[in-house]
């Protein structure tokens, strides 16, 4: 696509994007909510979006599906107040809807797989009903213009102007960064065009290409994005990305996940791990240097030495 057409398309999208923005007041409300049983909080939403990313990744869906799903979710949440216990159903419905719009039929994971893998508590019919509700509330506007749309356009524009730098500006990397940002609800308040441009600039500054920077500036002027707005979001993006890029590994939270194994494996596990420790009275025959633990019972029925492992020391996990 030639540069002129691209710019034109850019403009068109820019004019349309406002229709797909979640209501800011709704988002603010979520952000200001503290942990509460009745309302969705930012933390709640963010955790759910991360779950959606896990599912996206697992089923091999594209970033487009993910971004669209988050968009649908945020728009819905900003509009309708729901209880946290329904959040799971809403978010998975959004993912399913987004996948139907974006993915090819053959790549679509069936609803019951989604539910099973996501360890959800609701049924397929619940999911279908929820999808209908979401679609209705959002006026059936499922094909949204998102930051990804802009990101793709920017990328194409940039490349069409400086072909020798093709490898350096990685779309995949930009997509991953966008995804990281979307895991925080505050970024849903940004205009998609601005968010995408912030990401683009960030990356260009990283690879230090003067002519790409020039192009980015050109885009900014074309869309009439103010410096102030761009700066604001660039700062926030920078902070988010530096967290994202930190090499620190956090300890994962085991409690949220269910570990279901087959019965045979479970039996195998139990025979090794679950039997509680027995105290063996250490009978120190210490005339030599070596002693013998007399955990073998003295009569035939007594407990013999533990067939399992005695956890004698509690290991302290190292802190990252």
Q: How many amino acids of this chain bind other proteins (CB under 8 A)?
A: 67
Query: In whole angstroms, what is the distance from residue 207 CA to residue 190 CA?
Result: 25
Instruction: For residues 176 and 227, give the distance between their C-alpha atoms in angstroms, rounded to a whole number.
Output: 25
DSSP symbols for 265-313: HHHHHHHHHTSPP-PPP----TTSS------S-SSTTS--S-SS----S
d(C-alpha 203, C-alpha 151), whole Å: 12
What x-and-dash track marks residues 54-73 binding other proteins by CB under 8 A?
x--xxxx-------------
Interhelix angle 3-16/147-161, nearest 10 degrees: 160
Distance CA 91, CA 116 (A): 15
Residue (228 or 288) nearer to other proteins, CB:
288
Tokens of 283: 């009978």
Q: Nearer to other proteins by C-beta: 34 or 312? A: 312
Q: Which of 228/252 has CB closer to other proteins?
A: 252
Complex with other proteins: residue 221 or 319, whichever CB lies closer: 319
Segment lying near other proteins (by CB under 8 A), choices 125-133, 148-156, 158-166, 294-302? 294-302
Task: Report if residue 287 touches other proteins, rule: CB under 8 A.
Answer: yes
Binding mask of the shown chain, residues 175 to 214, with x at each position contacting other proteins by CB under 8 A: -x--xx----------------------------------
Q: How far apart are CA 73 and CA 97, in angstroms?
A: 10
In the complex, the residues that contact other proteins under the rule CB under 8 A are: 50-51, 53-54, 57-60, 116-117, 119, 172-173, 176, 179-180, 244-254, 257-262, 265, 268-269, 271-272, 283, 285, 287-300, 304-309, 311-313, 315, 317-318, 320
């Amino acid at each position: 696509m030639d540069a002129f057409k691209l710019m034109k398309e850019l403009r068109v999208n820019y004019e349309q994007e406002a229709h797909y923005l979640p209501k800011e007041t709704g988002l603010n409300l979520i952000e200001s909510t503290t942990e509460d049983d009745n309302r969705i909080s930012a933390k709640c939403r963010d955790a759910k979006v991360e779950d959606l990313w896990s599912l996206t990744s697992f089923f091999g869906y594209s970033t487009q599906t993910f971004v669209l799903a988050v968009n649908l979710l945020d728009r819905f949440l900003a509009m309708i107040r729901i209880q946290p216990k329904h959040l799971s159903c809403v978010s998975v419905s959004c993912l399913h809807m987004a996948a139907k719009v974006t993915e090819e039929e053959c790549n679509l994971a069936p609803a019951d797989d989604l539910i099973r893998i996501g360890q959800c508590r609701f049924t397929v019919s619940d999911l279908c009903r929820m999808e209908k509700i979401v679609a209705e509330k959002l006026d059936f506007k499922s094909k949204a213009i998102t930051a990804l749309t802009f990101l793709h356009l920017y990328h194409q524009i940039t490349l069409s102007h400086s072909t020798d730098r093709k490898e350096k500006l990685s779309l995949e990397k930009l997509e991953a960064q966008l995804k990281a940002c979307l895991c925080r609800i505050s970024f849903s308040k940004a205009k998609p065009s601005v968010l995408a441009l912030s990401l683009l600039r960030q990356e260009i500054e990283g690879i230090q290409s003067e002519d790409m920077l020039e192009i980015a500036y050109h885009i900014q002027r074309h869309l009439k994005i103010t410096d102030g707005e761009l700066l604001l979001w660039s700062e926030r993006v920078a902070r988010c990305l530096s967290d994202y890029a930190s090499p620190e590994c956090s300890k994962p939270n085991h409690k949220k996940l269910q570990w279901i194994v087959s019965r045979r494996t479970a039996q195998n596990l139990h025979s090794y791990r679950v039997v509680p420790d027995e105290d063996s009275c250490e009978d120190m025959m210490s005339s030599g240097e070596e002693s013998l633990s007399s955990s073998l019972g003295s009569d035939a029925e007594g407990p013999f030495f533990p067939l399992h492992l005695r956890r004698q020391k509690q290991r302290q996990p190292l802190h990252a």
